[in-house]
């Protein structure tokens, strides 16, 4: 068995984001990292509509990239070899306010933005209204009896 390196194109229509992932053929799938890249809940992640078995650490228990690509190729599904043939990533969005880092590279470079492809001309960077949602979530009302309209910012 050869353990060669390959690039896989992943596309998540839910967030209109596409990324390249560099993997080894015999590497088991890290579904947690893929989910965080797109802001998805790892327990709901599907690739090309298929749920992949995984352990508690969200690493595929027995599926390697080579076996997954062979499976998809034999059935005529996309294999991630280019933009037009990207693997489709699906799942439920994580809840707002999750303290997890969205992309493994964010932990390395300290950034909250991911270098992503533009899809249909739209930027995938967070917009001002996204930050307002987070700011508004931090606002809390404190009911002290007399001053029920006091707002505290944490």
Count of other CB atoms within 10 angstroms of residue 6: 16
The rounded Cα 126 to chain-centroid distance in angstroms is 14
Cα separation of 151 and 18, whole Å? 40
> What are the tens digits of pLDDT across the range 131-145?
444 444 444 333 334
Q: How far apart are the first and last CA of the chain?
A: 55
Greater confidence (147 vs 62) lies with 62
Find the mean pLDDT for residues 108-130. 45
- pLDDT confidence of residue 8: 94
- pLDDT confidence of residue 36: 92
Find the mean pLDDT for residues 41-66. 89
Find the mean pLDDT for residues 64-77. 95
- pLDDT confidence of residue 96: 62
Domain ranges of the chain: 5-109
Model confidence at 2, pLDDT cuts 50, 70, 90, reads confident
What's the pTM?
0.60
- pLDDT confidence of residue 6: 92
Residue whose C-alpha is closest to residue 14's, from 119, 112, 109, 110: 119
Domain 5-109 sits in CATH at 3.10.20.90
- pLDDT confidence of residue 60: 85
Greater confidence (108 vs 37) lies with 37
**Strands (DSSP E) found in 15-133:** 17-24, 28-30, 46-47, 59-64, 87-90
- pLDDT confidence of residue 120: 52
């Amino acid at each position: 068995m050869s353990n060669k390196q390959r690039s896989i194109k992943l596309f998540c229509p839910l967030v209109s984001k596409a990324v390249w992932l560099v993997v080894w053929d015999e590497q088991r799938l890290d579904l947690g990292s893929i989910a965080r890249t797109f802001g998805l809940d790892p327990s709901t992640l599907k690739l090309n509509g298929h749920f992949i078995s995984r352990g508690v650490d969200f690493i595929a228990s027995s599926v390697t990239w080579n076996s997954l690509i062979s499976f998809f190729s034999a059935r005529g599904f996309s294999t991630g070899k280019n933009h037009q043939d990207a693997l489709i990533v699906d799942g439920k969005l994580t809840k707002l306010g999750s303290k997890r880092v969205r992309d493994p590279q964010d932990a390395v470079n300290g950034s909250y933005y991911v270098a992503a492809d533009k899809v249909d001309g739209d930027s995938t960077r967070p917009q001002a209204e996204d930050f307002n949602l987070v700011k508004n979530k931090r606002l809390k009302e404190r009911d002290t009896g007399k001053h029920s309209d006091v707002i505290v910012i944490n």
